[in-house]
């Protein structure tokens, strides 16, 4: 079984971790004692900054947060953006790289400062939060297929490691909001059509009855896909209810995803990608690779302001996911997964705001539980055959955390710490090949210390140090290269330590910017690979050590009331520091799956109900193998969005059109790292379009 993470620290890393722990405790206690009771006024910059950041589990003004955070407001223009995936919106965030927007069987794959790049599907290593409720499971796996892009109104991204706030797999945090509390009562019906057989129909309504708010939405879409074997049929439903009385508020939500068809065209080699980019891998067709999913989720959140200084937040949620998947090989290629995931989160918030100081804190406990009933069968060319595996996989988490932020004069100091008790286990129900039942504890401590200085009324500089950890997911552990049941005993958790320095200017200004440099040291980073006798199935192994040094820049200029420009750039120098594979020393080689340079620019014009947005994204070459012997060329994507609003007797009509990949660049929507048979490539579509009409009444 896995080695215990708490007892697996090595040499200097263990001593360094202990030293950091004591420094963190001294820092935290010292801040608490020294800052309370000071007698000077707070800097006006803190009072003027109106953009509130909540992604760090503590609501604070943007300028006072000593961390790298990006925000995206989609509330007014979400109907003009692409509704098929979120990559268009999030790729403008420096350090964030999204792939797999056109393979709906694998879901959008997001990496943040390299965390998540190894994921074979979905979002891995990055904590995903939706309306304050974790979408990421306790083992670290997340997906966005059960969240309709059209429902999202805002996005907040914390680029740095955040284990001290969210625990496992918090190499970064993406917080999505569907909040419409400030919106006017309205009902909207819309439809859109586009390339490759796209059909999408949507109906939603928001109503506010004297403090009682109701939001209902439904989205149905069909798509043949650019490549063969890439059809999608999907329906998303969302219901939200909110009631506020006095100092108390109750929020309830429920969502449902039904996706009876999501085909997987698979990766192909370079020769096939050049000659027939729209083709699928032949085995993916013959084995009918793809998935069928039903996912539901419900949550209740109760907030109670106990007094002027304390408020208590209680959140309970539960979700279920039924997954029927088919991989392009016979032995164990059919998967039947039934997941139950639920949790209870309690958070006590404290604040003191006086004439001479600001003090805010959060103290909480997360109780999370995940159960995966996993069965594997032979895949007889799309027909389920004999059983090859049956087991119940378990991951339970208890996370205790505290966060404290203090402001005095021009300074803000922040400290946070979290201890996670993680218990994983497997109950083997397929005993013909032996009993592989077992369990293991992977406990971990994470912390962060940071300082922020407002050197003007509109600008600040910050320095922080944080740690995080990442356990293997249950699906990664169950992918055992030996072919046995149970878990892969060779796969270990990874640990990361980050130092970050940045400057930023208030988001309220006509000119805002952020510049961040960082260094991340990681032990036992996990990387994907395939084996000859099971091509198409992804396994994982640990690298020794990696080092990541990066620079992130972003700027927004509001040139006039109608015209705004946005620009972001990321330099990612991510390399193996100590890694030997098959006798070859790969130390100093770049990590695969991540471009070293990425640049995003956009120009938006809004005037008299006219909306025009042109956006451009550039990515440098990307290695697809650990040894860097194969890489894809740099590529450049240009998208265009046009929309207009017509008022007619109290009804708003919104026609819109979008053109993707306007220059018809050749690039790859997804890259399968270290794939067997050089099948690294999933070609992306050339010029394609979407057009539609929305009616608001």
- Helix residue spans in 66-167 (DSSP H): 87-90, 163-166
Q: How far apart are CA 218 and CA 224, in angstroms?
A: 21
Position 44 scores a pLDDT of: 37
Question: Would you state the structure tokens that stand for residue 94, as one six-digit string?
Answer: 């420096």
Mean per-residue pLDDT of the chain: 87
**Whether residue 296 has pLDDT greater than 50:** yes
Chain centroid, CA 341 distance in Å: 18
> Which range, of 82-91, 299-308, 677-686, averages the lowest pLDDT?
82-91
Q: What's the pLDDT tens digit per position in 226-282?
A: 999 999 999 999 999 999 998 999 999 999 999 999 999 999 999 999 999 999 999
CA 560-566-571 angle, 5° bins? 155
Reported pTM:
0.89
Q: Is the dihedral of CA 573, 577, 582, 584 positive or negative?
A: positive
Task: List, in order, residues 6 or more apart from 521 with CB less than 8 Å away.
Answer: 496, 497, 545, 546, 547, 548, 577
Of the chain, the end-to-end C-alpha distance in Å amounts to 59
Position 416 scores a pLDDT of: 96
Backbone angle region of 495, left / alpha / beta, with phi > 0 → left and psi within -120 to 50 → alpha: beta
Position 535 scores a pLDDT of: 65
Helices and strands, counts by H and E, the chain: 7, 43
In 3D space, the residue among 621, 675, 516 whose CA is nearest the CA of residue 95 turns out to be 516
**Whether residue 11 has pLDDT greater than 70:** no
Q: How far apart are CA 665 and CA 188, in angstroms?
A: 35
| 318 contacts 342 by C-beta, under 8 angstroms | yes
Position 676 scores a pLDDT of: 86
Question: Would you state the structure tokens that stand for residue 565, as one six-digit string?
Answer: 């420009």
pLDDT category of residue 544 using cuts at 50, 70 and 90: confident
CA 467-473-474 angle, 5° bins? 150
% of the chain residues with pLDDT over 90: 66
In 3D space, the residue among 175, 473, 434, 170 whose CA is nearest the CA of residue 339 turns out to be 473
* DSSP states of 386-452: EEEEEEEEEEEEEEEEEEEEEEETTEEEEEEEEEEEEEEEEEE--GGG----EEEE--EEEEEEEEE
Q: Is the dihedral of CA 536, 537, 543, 546 positive or negative?
A: positive
> Which range, of 252-256, 329-333, 393-397, 597-601, averages the lowest pLDDT?
329-333
Task: Tell me the pairing of strands 290-305 and 310-326.
Answer: antiparallel
3-state secondary structure of 614: strand
Q: What's the pLDDT tens digit per position in 168-192?
A: 988 899 999 999 887 889 999 999 9
Q: How far apart are CA 166 and CA 347, in angstroms?
A: 13
* Other beta carbons within 10 Å of 533: 11
Q: What's the pLDDT tens digit per position in 594-628?
A: 999 999 999 999 998 899 999 999 999 999 998 99
> Which range, of 44-58, 176-190, 561-575, 650-664, averages the lowest pLDDT?
44-58
DSSP 184: P
Q: How far apart are CA 563 and CA 668, in angstroms?
A: 32
**Whether residue 33 has pLDDT greater than 60:** no
| 451 contacts 486 by C-beta, under 8 angstroms | no
Overall average pLDDT of the 372-386 stretch: 94
Position 536 scores a pLDDT of: 62
Overall average pLDDT of the 429-438 stretch: 82
| 127 contacts 170 by C-beta, under 8 angstroms | yes
48 versus 359: which is more confidently predicted? 359
365 versus 487: which is more confidently predicted? 365
96 versus 648: which is more confidently predicted? 96
Number of residues in the chain: 697
> Which range, of 22-26, 541-545, 608-612, averages the lowest pLDDT?
22-26
| 302 contacts 243 by C-beta, under 8 angstroms | no
Q: What's the pLDDT tens digit per position in 123-171?
A: 888 999 999 999 999 988 888 888 888 899 999 999 999 999 999 988 8
Task: List, in order, residues 6 or more apart from 493 with CB less than 8 Å away.
Answer: 2, 5, 8, 442, 444, 469, 470, 471, 472, 524
Position 27 scores a pLDDT of: 36
Overall average pLDDT of the 531-548 stretch: 76
Chain centroid, CA 116 distance in Å: 8
pLDDT category of residue 491 using cuts at 50, 70 and 90: confident
Position 509 scores a pLDDT of: 85
DSSP 591: P
């Amino acid at each position: 079984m896995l080695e215990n993470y708490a007892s697996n620290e090595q040499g200097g890393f263990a001593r360094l971790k202990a030293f950091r722990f004591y420094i963190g405790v001294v820092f935290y206690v010292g801040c608490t004692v020294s800052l309370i009771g000071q007698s000077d006024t707070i800097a006006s910059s803190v009072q003027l900054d109106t953009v509130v950041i909540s992604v760090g589990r503590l609501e604070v003004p943007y300028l006072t947060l000593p961390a790298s955070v990006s925000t995206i407001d989609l509330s007014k223009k979400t109907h003009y953006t692409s509704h098929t995936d979120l990559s268009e919106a999030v790729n403008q965030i420096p350090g964030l790289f999204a792939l797999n927007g056109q393979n709906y069987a694998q879901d959008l794959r997001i990496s943040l400062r390299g965390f998540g790049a190894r994921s074979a599907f979905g979002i891995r290593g990055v904590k995903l939060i939706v309306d304050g409720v974790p979408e990421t499971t306790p083992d670290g796996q997340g997906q966005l297929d059960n969240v309709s892009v059209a429902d999202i109104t805002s996005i907040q991204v914390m680029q740095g490691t955040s284990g001290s706030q969210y625990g496992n797999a918090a190499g970064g945090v993406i917080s999505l909001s569907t909040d419409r509390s400030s919106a006017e009562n309205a009902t909207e019906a819309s439809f859109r059509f586009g390339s490759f057989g796209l059909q999408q129909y949507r109906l939603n309504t928001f109503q506010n009855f004297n403090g009682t708010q109701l939001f209902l939405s439904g989205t149905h879409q069909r798509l043949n896909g650019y490549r063969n074997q890439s059809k999608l049929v999907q329906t998303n439903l969302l219901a939200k209810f909110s009631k506020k009385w006095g100092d108390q508020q109750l929020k309830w939500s429920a969502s449902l995803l039904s996706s009876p068809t999501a085909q997987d065209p698979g990766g192909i080699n370079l020769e096939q990608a050049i000659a027939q980019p729209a083709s699928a891998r032949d085995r993916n067709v013959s084995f009918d690779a793809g998935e069928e999913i039903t996912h539901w989720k419900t949550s209740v959140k109760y907030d109670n302001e106990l007094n002027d200084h304390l408020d208590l937040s209680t959140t309970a949620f539960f979700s279920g996911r039924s997954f029927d998947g088919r991989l392009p090989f016979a032995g164990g290629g059919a998967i039947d997964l039934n997941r139950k995931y639920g949790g209870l989160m309690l958070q006590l918030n404290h604040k003191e705001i006086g004439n001479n100081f600001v003090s805010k804190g959060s103290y909480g406990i997360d109780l999370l539980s995940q159960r995966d009933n996993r069965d594997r069968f032979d895949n007889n060319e799309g027909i389920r055959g004999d059983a090859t595996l049956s087991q119940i996989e378990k991951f339970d988490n208890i996370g205790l955390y505290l966060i404290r932020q203090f402001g005095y004069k021009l300074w803000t100091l922040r400290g946070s710490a979290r201890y996670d008790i993680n218990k994983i286990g497997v109950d083997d129900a397929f005993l013909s090949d032996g009993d592989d039942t077992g369990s293991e504890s992977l406990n971990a401590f994470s912390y962060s210390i940071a300082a922020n200085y407002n050197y003007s009324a509109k600008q600040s500089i910050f320095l922080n140090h944080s740690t995080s950890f990442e356990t293997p997911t249950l699906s990664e552990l169950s992918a055992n290269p030996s072919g046995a049941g149970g878990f892969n005993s060779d796969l270990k958790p990874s640990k990361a330590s980050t130092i970050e320095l940045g400057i930023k200017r208030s988001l309220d200004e006509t000119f805002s910017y952020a510049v961040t440099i960082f260094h991340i040291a990681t032990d036992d980073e996990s990387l994907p690979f395939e084996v000859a006798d099971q091509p198409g199935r992804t396994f994982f192994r640990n690298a020794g050590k990696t080092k990541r040094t990066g620079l992130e820049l972003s700027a927004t200029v509001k040139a006039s009331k109608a015209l705004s420009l946005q620009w972001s750039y990321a330099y990612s120098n991510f390399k193996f520091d100590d890694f030997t594979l098959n006798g070859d020393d790969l130390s100093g080689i770049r990590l695969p799956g991540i471009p070293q340079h990425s640049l995003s620019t956009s120009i938006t014009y809004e005037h008299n109900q006219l909306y025009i947005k042109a956006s451009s994204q550039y990515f440098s070459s990307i290695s697809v193998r650990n040894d860097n012997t194969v890489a894809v060329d740099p590529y450049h994507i240009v998208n265009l969005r046009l929309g207009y609003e017509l008022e007619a007797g109290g009804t708003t009509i919104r026609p819109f059109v979008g053109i993707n990949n306007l220059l018809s660049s050749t690039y790859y929507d997804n890259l399968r790292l270290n794939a067997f048979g050089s099948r690294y490539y999933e070609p992306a579509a050339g010029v394609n379009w979407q057009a539609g009409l929305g009616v608001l009444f």
